[in-house]
Amino acid sequence: MWDEVTRPPREDHVAAIVSLALVAEPRCGDVVVIALDGPSGAGKTTLARGIELALAPRGPVAVVHMDHLYPGWDGLAQAPGLLTAQVLEPMARGERATYRLWSWVREQWSGTRDVPPCTFLVVEGCGSSVEPAGSYAAVSVFVDADTALRMRRGIDRDGEVYRPQWQRWADQESALFSADATRERADLVLDTSSL
């Protein structure tokens, strides 16, 4: 599944992001938000886990996975607004954030999850730094890799059953990132093709 991290991230990638996060000014109340954006299969979840572990000694870290917020296979464009309304805006006001969870099996909303109090919030997934969510990110990272490699990683991770959805999702990513200039606005662009 998408959240099973099977290999470690590159240490230099983690170190570069952590160094930015430690000097970043919070834009979401007192919370430093680190947005790991980029196309599917680029290694964002792997990188998020490495950042979470590296920042833990510096203060509480919470992680939000965008895969929980997408309302289905055609819901990528809606996700940055959902992230903003349910997580980032409440946190900016100093309130507890709770977001709805999408069930990919049932194809409907199914439950909620609280974001624990934290010093650092790592938001990983496509659209995590797309506006309006991008305005709350103290550190925006665009993670990418070779297209064929990303697809192979995705199919290896999720199974052949998801192959028909791959291009459908990739088309949405391309449109969203292009309209938002997501890569161009990033504080850091990383290529994980060598993982």
Domain range summary for the chain, segments of one domain joined by +: 22-191
DSSP letters along 72-115, please? STT-GGGHHHHHIIIIIHHHHTTPPEEEEEEETTTTEEEEEEEE
Cα–Cα dist 11/194, whole Å: 12
**Length of the chain in residues, anyone?**
195
Per-residue pLDDT at 7? 74
Per-residue pLDDT at 120? 98
Per-residue pLDDT at 195? 67
Tokens for 58? 């510096």
Which residues of the chain fall below pLDDT 70?
1-6, 195
> What is the CA angle 55-26-4, rounded to 5?
40
- From 3.20.20.20, 3.40.630.10, 3.40.50.300, 3.90.79.10, which CATH number describes the 22-191 domain? 3.40.50.300
Residues 182, 129 contacting (CB under 8 angstroms): yes
Q: What b/e readout covers 68-82, taking b as 16+ CB neighbours within 10 angstroms?
A: bbbeeeeebeebbeb
Q: Which of 178, 192, 176, 167 lies closest to 73 in space, CA to CA?
A: 167
Per-residue pLDDT at 2? 44
